Amino acid sequence: MTEWIDPLALKALLDWQAELGADEAIGDVPVDRYAAPVTVSAVKSPAITAPEPMLPDPIVDAQAAAAAAGDLDGLRAALAAFPHCELRHGARNLVFADGQPGARVMILGEAPGRDEDAQGLPFVGPVGQLLDRMLLAIGLARQADTLADAVYISNVMPWRPPQNRPPTSDEIAMLRPFVERHIALAKPEFLILMGNGACQAVLERGGITRLRGSWVSAAGVPCLPMLHPAYLLRHPAAKRDAWADLLSLKARLGQQH
């Protein structure tokens, strides 16, 4: 049974507390002392993970390796040590160059084929034989007696793509620094761009049937896009255009001889 408390006594207690300075409530809401205690879950700190290592940039690595090459032998060694191009794993040989360094004319093709991969030289087999006949028709040769009549030959890709497929844009971009350095070290007076791959590497555009026959300036030298000898073997009627381009090259050589 609840004990009755006199209201006058309660008022007297409140007055006494007010005189002591307890003139307001401590909390804004009543506290239930019989309720279960509220547990606050510990706030977990976000896990600290180590930053992922940055993957190497093949183009940046190619630029550094090419720039460090002081001569053609150094550039060949840099290409042989370049780890990023997957074509190297399926090729038999690194195909670097042929002909005579220092020649007035440098010929740049797309990529080695089966014969080139087997011999480690650019433009051999039926394609190379046709190229040699084309050059001989205007008095040029790989191993001419003088540099004035010689040529220096290389490819954009130093390794053979599977099934002789065209180089991809990523592969060309990856190896472009080596191509640019190769041209700078060879120092040709004229550069012949054989096929789309060579045009994409030097001019950064394709469409060889539209580009052929027109001289342009790139890589610091006059460049002449031409149809690739492999294309001429498949389309003999196009040899007329190739002959016109050869005559244009011969005229340029005569003007600056």
Per-residue pLDDT tens over the stretch 1-38: 456 667 777 777 777 677 766 666 665 566 666 676 65
Give the mean model confidence (pLDDT) for residues 233-255: 96
Give the pLDDT of residue 38. Answer: 58
Give the pLDDT of residue 255. Answer: 82
Contacts made by residues 244-252, CB under 8 angstroms, sequence distance 24+:
244/213, 245/212, 245/213, 246/134, 246/137, 246/138, 247/138, 248/213, 248/215, 248/224, 249/105, 249/138, 249/190, 249/192, 249/224, 250/138, 250/139, 252/190, 252/215, 252/222, 252/224
Give the pLDDT of residue 39. Answer: 60
Helices and strands counted in the chain (H then E):
10, 6
Give the pLDDT of residue 114. Answer: 95
Answering whether pTM is above 0.85, one says no
Per-residue pLDDT tens over the stretch 147-181: 999 999 999 999 999 999 999 999 999 999 999 99
Residue ranges of domains in the chain: 58-255
Give the mean model confidence (pLDDT) for residues 190-201: 97
Determine the Cα–Cα distance for residues 50 and 6; give it in Å rounded to an integer.
Answer: 72
> Could you say which architecture CATH assigns to the domain 58-255?
3-Layer(aba) Sandwich (3.40)
Per-residue pLDDT tens over the stretch 87-102: 999 999 999 999 999 9
